[in-house]
Structures are given as structure tokens and as C-alpha cells.
Structure 1
Amino acid sequence: MHHDPAGPPPPGAPAPEAAPRAEDSVPGFRLGPKLGEGGMGVVFRAEGPGGMPAAVKLLNASGASGREAARRFEREAQIRIEHPNVCRVLAAGRTADGTPFLAMELLEGESLEQRLRRGPLSPAEAAGVGVQVCRGLAAAHAAGIVHRDLKPSNLFLCRDGTVKLFDFGIALVWKAEQTRLTTVGTVLGTPWYLSPEQARGQADLDHRTDLWSLGVVLWEAVVGRTPFARDTPLASVVAVLMEDPPPLAQVAPGVPAPLAAVIERALRKPMEERWPTAEAFGRALSSADLSFAATQSLPAVGASLSIPPGEQRVVALLLAEGVRDRDRIQRAVEGQGGLFLPLLGNRALGLFGGEAWEGDEVRRAARAALELRSAALRVAVASGHASQGGGGIEGAALAAAEAGCRAGALGVAVSAAAARALGRDMPLQPLRGEFFELLAAGESRRESEADAGGEEGPSALVGRQAELAQIRQAIETTLGDRRAAAVLVTGPPGIGKTRLWREAERLLRAQAPHARVLAGRGQPLRRDTAFALVVS
């Protein structure tokens, strides 16, 4: 049985491999051929007491990852749920040389992840899988246990038709656990299966977080792709928080409307709007009428990107890592009109322009970043495009924000795109790579090599020869005819309009130092500034 090398192998039965070493002898079990191997462990076929077939998983990781894996082993060994839809743990302990082991019932078949590689499930198959998973979850939840890592690789399709839930390595003992298996900057669970409350790093999780993850699994099972998978883990987490998956009626029109409605209710971002229990979710799946195709779906709830369909908008991002004072960061972001998103891993995100575009998103993000700088270890500002309808915030902008936090800025790291929008009105200085550092007012600014050579640092003009030629011609005509003239520069945000008019003013003053220049900036879409051009 094939398995995903990135995670622990499921307790299945692939083609036999070499026998284990003698020092790996497991008390009470006789190990046979190797079934599979992952990043943290290796699984062997084994015989338990009375010849009972079993799968024995041995931990093979070391260092920090090994310690975390050992904790997961211990957690999984402590959770014993006797239910037909939960993989049974038979024993746990250490081998003769001290290696942790976990013995489980031997499962014959394949994981749901492996099955989905061959294509989506039919609506009836997906509903059947969901019903069985709900039964297993109901047993876990009745024991006060939240799985927290529900995904296709942790669901096993046995040859007899039984669906088994396994890998409780990061499970939460609900209302009883005092410590949490998480570290700064680490995503606990697979990012695109996280519930919104997990993505925010909430501590008060309950059973409804598993119902969300099952909804994501079933959506993927009938569509053939995951709804929240993006280029980076951070982009996936932000998608979970801000985007709604496309309605099943659009992406999988063959899914009956009643089944689509059941799955989509599980994907409501507010916990109280999802199915209240695994039992209720399972009953809805089993009673859904599968006789007709989807024609409608439940309305989307909880989307935070107020962008009309088809529109692409420039937004600014503020990413804080190593958060020291979450309330202060929230006040600074919201005080500048941004949307505050707490993230797991001791991080926070500020989004400017997602709800309403005003034209000064990067400046507001920069002002918020300076205000909150001491409330986090690292702060970065980046800009990029966002769209509605599944596009979300482009991964490049989020990746730039993450890279900015690694750039080593004492102040605020600013991406090149964001620096162009800021221009010279804020004190920027070159940093490593394509980043600049934003300093608070009064701080010194180093002169860059570009400034010494006459260039404009982050605001230098590139690829604007045609526009510059038009400006030069307008200046020559104005001076030659000795009469006033107007130059209007238009374009979407971030294209370089400010740099063009600054260059026009520089060229004019170089030829006519005493010329009177009136310059203004129009913001027709910005709040309360219909006459911004005249006022400025």
C-alpha cells in the first residue's frame, strides 16, 4: 500500500519489504516485513498475542522533530476509543533499544487520500464515507476528544467497506488539556483542512472544529481538489479565514442539491452555524436525497473580501510575527481602517483594502506598522492583488510579507512593491534583497548607492520612456508658447503615477526654476475626497 512520505504511514498492508532489525523487537509482538515509512516513523506488519495481525509503528525521528513526534506517539497511545469506525490501538511502549512504538489493528485497503488520486467520489460514495466518519467522530467527541487533524490521509477505506479514523497524535482532550501541542510559527495540522478557529490560534476549540474539517474533506471528495489549498501555508491559512469555497453547484454540478447543502453547512465560518454535533451531521448525510442534481446551494457566509466578482484590487498586508501585545496590534490595524486577523503560530495579519478600497492602503498599513512595531518581534508590509470568487489574496504578496519578516529589519520591512507606493514621504532605506526598511520619524536614513548615483532608490523610474517623452514635449510646448498647460496622469494604484509627476516637476524646474507648479492628487474612489485634486 502506498503512503505519503510527508506523514506517518497508515496501518495498512503494502507489498512486503525487508524484515526489521533485531534491536527493534517489540514486547508482545513479532515484527514481520516493513509496510511503509514516513518522515517520522516506519510501520511493520506484526503478530500480536494469539497470532492476532497488527501494524506496529516505530518512531525513527531525532532532534526537535523527534521530541515532537514522541509527544504525538504518547498522545495517540493514551487515546483508546472502542468503535468500529476508529482504528484500535492495541499497545504502546518502547523497544529493547528504547525506540517508542505503537501497535494498532492491521487495516487492509487504502487511505482516502490514495483513493482520491484516482479521481473524485460519486455523491453516494462521499455521503457513505461521511456517515461512517461522523460515527467515529461521535464516539471520540463523546469521550471528550477532538481529533484536530482530520484529512484524507487519516481516513482509511477498508476492503470490507468500513471507514476507519486514525492518527490522534495531535488530538485535544476537550475541556481537560492544559498544554497545547504547538510552537511559534508552526501550523498544527494541515493548513487547508484547519478550521477558522484553528487558523486564528484559538485555544477554546470544541468538537465543531472536526465537523469543519470533515466538510472540507467531503467537498474535496466530490470536487477532486481542496477548496483552500494555496501556494504557501500562510496563504492557505488566510484563505480559510477570508474566503468561502465556490458553491458546489458551480464546481460540481452533478452533486445533488440536498447533499451540497449538507456539506456547505459544515463549512460555515461561525461555529454556531455549522452542524451542532457529529450525529446531526451524519443523519443529514444519510437522509440527503441523492436523486436529483444540484441547482442551488446555501449562501456564502463570513467572507471578508468585499470585492465585486471579476474585480482585481490592490491591497496592502501587514504581517507581525512573534506577537507580544495582540491587543495593541489590533488597535493599530483597526485604527488605520484595516481588518485584523489573528493567526496561529503567534502571528497576526492586517489587511487594508479588502473591505473597501480608498487608494492609500499601503500608507495606512505603514502607519499602523510603525505604531505597533514594538508589539511584535518582526513586522513587514507588502502589497499585491486580491480578487473575489476563490482567487483571494495573491500568494506572492503573502510570500513577500513572510520574506520581509526574515529580512532582519530593526524597523518595519517593506517589500519593493509597497515601497514604490510609499515613495519618499516616509523614511525608507535599503535592506537586504528587494526589501526596504521603514523608520519612525526622526530616525536617521542611510544614503544608498542609488541615491549617490542620482537614482531615486525604490521610486526610480523604469520602463516609462514613452510617458517621459510626452511629459518633456508638454514642458517644451509650455515654455515655448509661454502659457499654462495641464498634464493628467491616470492609472490603477501602484503603476507609478506619483513618480511620473515628480519627474515632470523636476524637469520643469531644471529649465524654469521660477515657474509656478500646481500639483494635485485625485482620489475619486476614496472616502470623502470627491474634490481631492482641487483641495490638494
Structure 2
Amino acid sequence: MNAPTLLADRYELVRQLGRGGMAQVHLAHDRRLGRTVAVKTLLSDHAQDTVFQQRFQREAQAVASLNHPAIAAVYDTGEGEVNGVVVPYIVMEYVEGATLADLLERGPMMPEEALRICAGVLRALAYSHEHGIVHRDIKPANVMLTTEGQVKVMDFGIARAMGAGGMTMTATSTVIGTAHYLSPEQARGEKVDARSDLYSSGCLLYELLTGRPPFDGESAVAVAYQHVTAEPDLPSHRAAGIASEIDDVVMVSLAKGREERYQTADEMRLDIEAVLGYAPVPGTTTQRATAVGHPVPAPTQGGGRAEQRAARSAGDDRRKRAVLVAGAVAAVVVCIVAFTSFLGGSDDDTFALRDYSGSSLSEAADQVREDGLSPETGATRSCGKPEKVICATSPEAGSQVTEGATITLHPSDGTGEAEGTVQVPDVTGEQEDAAMATLRETGLEPVRDTRESTEAAPGTVLAQSPEGGEEAEAGSEVTVTVAVAPAAVLRGDGGG
């Protein structure tokens, strides 16, 4: 058995916990302090890329300034050698539990549990906003629930700093985030502020309650368009057992205009706690809804909530008409901004890397230079294309790059499977997102299955069919069995 990798003469990398498009996370042992930690390292393919380095450094800087029990802590940062390549790393608190994305695989949560979790997220955001940091990517995959039931907000990799003159990017003004949780201003490519995180928190709460995000579509552009122009269904229309007070909280958080939403994370949290019975009635949504232009009269005996909804509906008519009038303009804006932005576009010399595959090495190098980038030749690959024809690039086509960035071109070695068949890659042991991406890049269609496991981290691929190394028709399905936490672990919060 190989000895564990020792990073910076201090951190033993025990095993991989997860892998994404930019970095991988390892379970590690801190020899100096004798504690278990999580070590996040930039992928070696991106170690020399300034764009990825800057984003990685932004995450370290953002989280290192935050010390809150609901935010995964950063203990150390630096650079070290992994497999012969010097890469930056972040040493973080090791959180044992499951992400909300994992928990949602079992379906929606009980309303009380969903509200409690969202309140925990809002505590973290209130602290983050107080220290000038907007997360910008609140979603189920970036929130963990520990085995003790504690909420932990993670992944500040695209966090943005708030300056005295409003929101200013630490790097480029790009629309970044996940389509299903984007605020309308993010979808339009506008500056974001703390209220953008509150909209995303509303989307998160909506999904915890109903099992589905408020908007869905066939593409990121379609989803972004709905965030700007469409009104979501009430959560109670999508799932049973959701009280009208909960609908109120969610719908205020999902208001299109920032001024109509909650203005602070604490304000939204207090309304949630009022619904749960933790806070006095004067801090409830009824007051917030009135303050932002949704007149809600006090409840009356026998049908107050229905009267409230009728009054709110009348108050909303003007805003809905305005949305319809602006619909044509918004459609153009969203389609242009979202299409370019989700592919990596920006308005600060940041743009989407085009696909050079299929061109000869010399032609691709010329194209890279024409795009204002610097080409270099990387290792050859077996991809079934003729020799010296480009198989792939690093970073991948569609990635966000800045002018002058180095693009590594990987030419074909002239070998590979005949067209129409592919060799199935072995993705067992990998994290789900990385495994699915690998299979799709190979031309296969992954199908997700789950299996409870106490030994593997949630999201780890336990098995696949067909197995790695077998031949399969391009476009055929590969069943990927992913580990999920057992039901007893998922409910391990002690009823808090």
C-alpha cells in the first residue's frame, strides 16, 4: 500500500472526499496539531492558470476572515507539492455529515426541519454580510448538515467583497452561480449585494419544502429567464402540509425587486423563527410584507389568511403588469447575458474559451493566439482522432478565461477506439459530479442510482455498470451507484 501523500511536511492526505471542476478535497491528518482536517487543493491541470489561481485565492481570503459556527472554518493556506506539481491548498475544518443535495435525494423535508436549516444558513449569511462578503452561490450542494444536525455553509469560491461604493468584484464582473438559485439581478449580469444571497436562500428553502427549485427548464437560459420574469407557484401548491405563513416567508424572499425582499439575513431569519414559534409575533412576515408594498390586513376570525391573500393579490397586480410590459426587454437581456455568462463570458476581458478540438495542432495554436491567449502543447491523448489533431484543452472549452491566459493543447497520438464505440472509464471511488462529467466527456450518458453506505462519504461512486474498461456504444447509458447516508444518520440532529 502506498504511503499517504505528505503536503507541506505537515498534512497527510488520507483519501479523496470529493472532486470538482477546479479543485479536489482530501480527508487529511494534521501531524502538528494531531487533528483531522479537510485539505482542498487546486487541480494540477489548473495549477499554472492565473484565472483558477485567483478564484482559489479569493475563496481562501474570503473564508479566512470569517469565524462562525455555521461556516466551515479555514485553518491554513499555502502551496505544496502533490504528485510532483506545486499547487495551492486550503486547510479547512472537516465536517462529518451530508450536503442538503444528498438529503434531498430522499425527497422534500418536513417544514419545521426545512425552516430550521434555512435559519442556520441565514445566521451564517448575516455574519458573512456583516464582514463584507456575499456568497453568491447558495444552493443545496454548498450547505452541509452535520451528524449532530448543525448547519455548515461551504464553498466561498465565487464570493464577492462589498466595497464602500457598493458591490465590487475581487476579480471580474461575471455572472456566476447556479441557474436554479440565481437572483434576477445575477441573471441580468448586474451587480449583486447581500439581498441576492437572500433570494438564493429563498430558492433553497423552496426546494427543501417541495423537493424542487422554484423554476426549472431545459437550459440555464430558460431558468434564468424565469427568475427575471415569472412568478413561482406557492410552495403549498406543490407540497402538502405547508402553512400559509411559510408561503409568506418564501414569497417575500423571492420578490423580483431587491427593495421588495427581505433587506437583511437577520430580518428573514426572525420571520422564520416567528413561524417556528421562537420569536415574538411583531417580527413576522405580515409586517415585512406591508413594508415592501404587499398590504396584508390583520387576520380576522374564520378566514383572515384568505383575506390576506386576496389583499396581497390586489397589491401585486401593478407589479405583475410592470413585469409583463418589461418582459420583451427582459427576454432579450436574459438570453444575451445568460447565454454568454453561463459559458464564461464577462464584461471585464473575461470570456468563454472556444472549442479547438478537431483542428490540427498548428491551426489550434494560431486560433489561440488570435483569441489573445498563449498556446502551449501538452501531453498527447488517445481519443480516436488523427495524429496531431486536438483532442482537448486545459482549461476545457467553455471555461472562463482572461486575456493572455495560457491554454494547453492536447493533440491526439493517433490511437483510440473506432468511431461509434468508446471505452468506459472507471469512475468508481470518484465524487459524483466528477464521475458524471467524465462519462459525459467520453460520450456516454450516466444514469444515477443510490445505495446507503456508512463506510463511503455521501456522493462517492460505489459501483458502475458497465464496468470501467469495457466497450460501449457512444451515447449509451452507464448506471452509476452513488453512496448516500443511511436514514439514521440523516435524522441525527436529535430533534433540535
Using the size of structure 1 for normalisation, the TM-score is 0.51
1:438-485 alpha-carbon deviations (Å, 9 max, x no partner): xxxxxxxxxxxxxxxxxxxxxxxxxxxxxxxxxxxxxxxxxxxxxxxx
Q: Separation in 2 of the partners of 1:94 and 1:66?
A: 14
Secondary structure in 2 aligned to 1:339? helix
Q: Which amino acid aligns with 1:156?
A: M
Q: Which residue of 2 aligns with 1:435?
A: none
Question: Which of 47, 62, 67 is the aligned partner of 2:29?
Answer: 47
Question: Which of 35, 48, 53 is the aligned partner of 1:70?
Answer: 53
1:66 Cα deviation after fit = 5.1
Q: Separation in 1 of the partners of 2:226 and 2:115?
A: 25
Question: Which of 132, 146, 151 is the aligned partner of 2:134?
Answer: 146
Question: Which of 85, 102, 105 is the aligned partner of 1:114?
Answer: 102
Q: Separation in 2 of the partners of 1:38 and 1:261?
A: 36
TM alignment of 1:281-360, pairs within 5 A: 281-288=268-275, 299=313, 302-303=319-320, 338-341=328-331, 343=333, 347=337
Q: Which residue of 2 aligns with 1:86?
A: 71
Q: Is the 8 A contact 1:182 1:188 kept in 2?
A: no
1:370-390 alpha-carbon deviations (Å, 9 max, x no partner): xxxxxxxxxxxxxxxxxxxxx
Q: Separation in 2 of the partners of 1:289 and 1:189?
A: 30
Q: Which residue of 2 aligns with 1:275?
A: 262
1:411-437 alpha-carbon deviations (Å, 9 max, x no partner): xxxxxxxxxxxxxxxxxxxxxxxxxxx
Secondary structure in 1 aligned to 2:69? coil
Q: Which amino acid aligns with 1:157?
A: L
Q: Higher strand proportion, which one?
A: 2
Secondary structure in 2 aligned to 1:255? coil
Q: Separation in 2 of the partners of 1:100 and 1:121?
A: 38
1:179 Cα deviation after fit = 3.9
Q: Is the 8 A contact 1:202 1:344 kept in 2?
A: no
Q: Is the 8 A contact 1:340 1:348 kept in 2?
A: no
Kindly tell me: are residues 65 and 138 of structure 1, through their superposed partners in 2, closer, same or farther at Cα, counting changes over 3 Å? farther
Kindly tell me: are residues 180 and 19 of structure 1, through their superposed partners in 2, closer, same or farther at Cα, counting changes over 3 Å? farther
Aligned: 1:255 with 2:242: yes
Secondary structure in 2 aligned to 1:30? strand
Kindly tell me: are residues 270 and 344 of structure 1, through their superposed partners in 2, closer, same or farther at Cα, counting changes over 3 Å? same
Instruction: Give 5+ residue unaligned stretches, structure 2.
Output: 278-302, 340-496
Q: Separation in 2 of the partners of 1:270 and 1:88?
A: 33
Q: Is the 8 A contact 2:161 2:170 kept in 1?
A: no
Aligned length: 302
TM alignment of 1:59-458, pairs within 5 A: 59-60=42-43, 62=45, 67-79=50-62, 80=64, 81-96=66-81, 97-175=85-163, 178-179=168-169, 181-182=171-172, 187-203=175-191, 205-288=192-275, 299=313, 302-303=319-320, 338-341=328-331, 343=333, 347=337
Instruction: Give 5+ residue unaligned stretches, structure 1.
Output: 1-17, 308-332, 350-536
Q: Is the 8 A contact 1:258 1:289 kept in 2?
A: no
Q: Separation in 1 of the partners of 2:9 and 2:177?
A: 31
Q: Is the 8 A contact 2:46 2:52 kept in 1?
A: no
Kindly tell me: are residues 20 and 139 of structure 1, through their superposed partners in 2, closer, same or farther at Cα, counting changes over 3 Å? farther
Q: Which amino acid aligns with 1:28?
A: R
Q: Separation in 1 of the partners of 2:186 and 2:70?
A: 25
Q: Which residue of 2 aligns with 1:372?
A: none
Q: Is the 8 A contact 1:242 1:303 kept in 2?
A: no
Q: Which residue of 2 aligns with 1:32?
A: 14
1:37 Cα deviation after fit = 2.1
Q: Separation in 1 of the partners of 2:334 and 2:89?
A: 30
Kindly tell me: are residues 144 and 306 of structure 1, through their superposed partners in 2, closer, same or farther at Cα, counting changes over 3 Å? closer
1:277-299 alpha-carbon deviations (Å, 9 max, x no partner): 11111111011158xx9978664
Secondary structure in 2 aligned to 1:279? helix
Secondary structure in 2 aligned to 1:125? helix
Q: Is the 8 A contact 1:20 1:31 kept in 2?
A: no
Q: Is the 8 A contact 1:61 1:69 kept in 2?
A: no
1:339 Cα deviation after fit = 2.8
Q: Separation in 1 of the partners of 2:25 and 2:158?
A: 19
Q: Which amino acid aligns with 1:83?
A: H
Kindly tell me: are residues 64 and 227 of structure 1, through their superposed partners in 2, closer, same or farther at Cα, counting changes over 3 Å? farther
Q: Is the 8 A contact 2:74 2:91 kept in 1?
A: yes
TM alignment of 1:453-464, pairs within 5 A: none
1:28 Cα deviation after fit = 3.3
Q: Which amino acid aligns with 1:87?
A: A
Q: Separation in 2 of the partners of 1:123 and 1:106?
A: 28
Q: Separation in 1 of the partners of 2:67 and 2:323?
A: 47
Using the size of structure 2 for normalisation, the TM-score is 0.55
Q: Which amino acid aligns with 1:219?
A: Y
The structure whose RCO (Cα within 8 Å, separation 6+) is larger is 2
Q: Separation in 2 of the partners of 1:66 and 1:19?
A: 30
Secondary structure in 2 aligned to 1:95? strand
1:137 Cα deviation after fit = 0.5
Kindly tell me: are residues 92 and 187 of structure 1, through their superposed partners in 2, closer, same or farther at Cα, counting changes over 3 Å? same
Q: Is the 8 A contact 1:127 1:285 kept in 2?
A: yes
Q: Considering only aligned residues, what root-mean-square deviation do their CA atoms show, in Å?
A: 3.4
Q: Is the 8 A contact 2:4 2:12 kept in 1?
A: no
Q: Is the 8 A contact 2:187 2:334 kept in 1?
A: yes
1:65 Cα deviation after fit = 11
Q: Separation in 2 of the partners of 1:231 and 1:34?
A: 33
The percentage of aligned residue pairs carrying the same residue is 35
Q: Separation in 2 of the partners of 1:19 and 1:94?
A: 22
